[in-house]
Structure 1
Amino acid sequence: MAGSTVPKRVRLDRRLIVDAILELARAEPSAKVTFKRLGEALGVDATAMYRHFRNKEELTRAALDRLSEMAVIDAEAATGGWRERLEAHLMRIAELSLEYPSIAAEGAILDPVGPGDVAGDEFVLARLHEAGLRGDALIRAYAAVSGFALAQSAAMAQEVVAHGGAARDGSIPWISTFGSVDLSQYPLVDEHRAELLAIDGMAVYRAGIDAILDSVAR
């Protein structure tokens, strides 16, 4: 019929589905992303997702791998020595975790096992190798850097999810209150109470990265 319009069919593939779940994670940080919700966003039946991913866990792993890929691509453009480039990579991991919190929060328990994740490993190892580390020292430094970055970035992402998408800059307090505890029994906590309450998640992340990289530099 002249003048009629036919809805354009979406040609699904793995990359398009990962794009969609990441966009939902950014737009709806506290919402639980399901295949049904993804189908609605893509304009397809939810069952279409199963032709590309066996389950939600496999899809989440693919999304995590994409975030790893993005962090490496951005860090490759950084300038400076091994430390500056590694810091750029690690800070980008934190930023992406806060941008896509419901996906990044799963990073503490799900291993992406994909090319983006392996590229991230290679990037970290290469920078530490440039710093002069070899053998066991190289592997221990890699474990410290990667383990801390993964755990703390996932924790910050979980905070965003739990607080309805607020504080996506990592500014949620590390210690929100000491409650009714009598701090006179804990003299150092009492002395530094204001400073401790001023620490936020991103400050903890930066402090941890600095401490590890200071050790590598030494």
Structure 2
Amino acid sequence: MSGSGRSQRGRLDRRVIVDALLELARTDPRSRITFKRLGEALGVDATAMYRHFRNKDDLTRAALDVLAGAAARDAAAAPGGWRDRLEAYLLRVAELSLEHPSIGAEGAVIDPVGPGDVAADEFILTELSAGGLAGDALIRAYAAISGFALAQSAALAQEVMARADAARDGSIPWISTFGAVDLSPFPLVSAHRDRLLAISGIEVYRAGAEAILDSIERAAAAEASRV
């Protein structure tokens, strides 16, 4: 690794550094990335990172921007109609967050603010417009999709970071245990206990995405009926 990194000394730039960060996040998913580790991977002194990024948040922002753009680009190529492509986008956001958990976990608190993120916004607005939404209804639907994707994909990544034995497929239980709580005062929780404990994080994500898209589809149909 260090040998290939040294060959990059002469062409070290922002994208080379971001690509190295994403590769480290993918291959070592439960480790927090530092400039020192990144410098070692690239075969350069850690201080070289500061010539391109102000701090680690700035670097993480750039990495999140790359992932946002990748999710939008992949989803745009998905077959089907506007709903199919939005569903593909939501699932791809989760997949990329789980693939790079130390980066994805930051997605709910660090705003990428870059061309990839803007491309994702444009993609969402384009597909919602294709579904027939406009004006306030369009912006509300955008907010629901964008907010859900960022928060829930970050939560899935956080779970991977927190558990050494976790698979990166969203299979961690949403509710791991009810502990020693007496469930008798909670008849519905008690009746559905086993099924609740069987729900995985990705199932929760998919259910939320489906509910949002169902709601958007109804809003689009209502808009069409008023035309």
Distance 1:17 1:165 in 2: 28
Compared CA separation, residues 99 and 9, structure 1 to 2 (3 A): closer
**Which residue number in structure 2 is paired with residue 207 of structure 1?**
207
Distance 2:55 2:37 in 1: 14
Deviations 1:5-48 (A, max 9, x none): xx645220100000000011111111111110000000000011
Runs of 4+ in 1 over 4 A off after TM superposition: none
Shift of 1:164: 2.4
**Where in structure 2 are the equivalents of 1:28-107 lying within 5 Å?**
28-107=28-107
Compared CA separation, residues 173 and 167, structure 1 to 2 (3 A): same
Distance 2:141 2:8 in 1: 49
Amino acid at match of 2:92: R
Compared CA separation, residues 184 and 132, structure 1 to 2 (3 A): same
Distance 1:89 1:72 in 2: 6
Amino acid at match of 2:181: V
Distance 1:115 1:125 in 2: 15
Identity %: 73
Question: How many corresponding residue pairs?
Answer: 212
Q: Contact 2:18/2:63 (CA < 8 Å) preserved in 1?
A: yes
Deviations 1:45-83 (A, max 9, x none): 001111111111100000000000111111121111110
Deviations 1:72-99 (A, max 9, x none): 1111211111100111111100000000
**Which residue number in structure 1 is paired with residue 120 of structure 2?**
120
Question: Do structure 1's residue 158 and structure 2's residue 158 form an aligned pair?
Answer: yes
Amino acid at match of 1:195: R
- The runs of 5 or more residues in structure 2 that have no matched partner are 1-5, 219-227
Distance 2:165 2:56 in 1: 22
Q: Contact 2:8/2:42 (CA < 8 Å) preserved in 1?
A: no
**Which residue number in structure 1 is paired with residue 18 of structure 2?**
18
Compared CA separation, residues 215 and 9, structure 1 to 2 (3 A): closer
**Which residue number in structure 2 is paired with residue 172 of structure 1?**
172
Amino acid at match of 1:89: Y
Distance 1:124 1:204 in 2: 21
Distance 2:110 2:92 in 1: 19
Distance 2:168 2:127 in 1: 28
Compared CA separation, residues 124 and 47, structure 1 to 2 (3 A): same
Amino acid at match of 2:70: M
- The runs of 5 or more residues in structure 1 that have no matched partner are 1-6
Amino acid at match of 1:100: H
Amino acid at match of 1:132: G
**Which residue number in structure 2 is paired with residue 189 of structure 1?**
189
TM-score for the superposition, normalised by structure 1:
0.95
Amino acid at match of 2:118: V
Q: CA RMSD in A?
A: 1.0
Distance 2:171 2:138 in 1: 32
Distance 2:127 2:85 in 1: 8
**Which residue number in structure 2 is paired with residue 147 of structure 1?**
147
TM-score for the superposition, normalised by structure 2:
0.91
Q: Contact 1:29/1:165 (CA < 8 Å) preserved in 2?
A: no
Distance 1:115 1:8 in 2: 28
